[in-house]
Amino acid sequence: GAVVSQHPSRVICKSGTSVKIECRSLDFQATTMFWYRQFPKQSLMLMATSNEGSKATYEQGVEKDKFLINHASLTLSTLTVTSAHPEDSSFYICSATDRGWETQYFGPGTRLLVL
């Protein structure tokens, strides 16, 4: 149980294009999903928290218009990197919890490379 998937697992795009990453909870209803960014050999940096049906809460320093988050259903949240630039290249990981409980279950991550 508690499986979270992400799609795509890897994406390469040109600078200036937008990229959408999906995060799905496969066997539970995720009232809360989190989006993280991880740079090589570093820890995870929380970008935003999203509750189903509400606007996402962004961490300080994360651009809301750059990283659009939608949590339209209890099993799906999407992160759209708008007008991507090479500095947005990173490993993006989502996690999900049920009813705001403490244990977060993580997706396998999406590696984004912007050329």
Residues of this chain that interact with another protein (CB under 8 A) are 4, 6, 31-32, 34, 41-44, 46, 49, 51, 57, 93, 95, 97, 99-109, 111
Query: Least CB distance from residue 11 to another protein, whole Å?
Result: 14
Please say which residue, 42 or 73, places its beta carbon nearer to another protein. Answer: 42
Please say which residue, 22 or 82, places its beta carbon nearer to another protein. Answer: 22
Please say which residue, 1 or 86, places its beta carbon nearer to another protein. Answer: 1
Q: Which helix (H) or strand (E) holds 81?
A: strand 76-81
CA–CA distance, 98 with 76 (Å, rounded to integer): 13
CA–CA distance, 57 with 115 (Å, rounded to integer): 29
Yes or no: say if 105 and 96 are a contact pair by the CB < 8 Å rule. Answer: yes
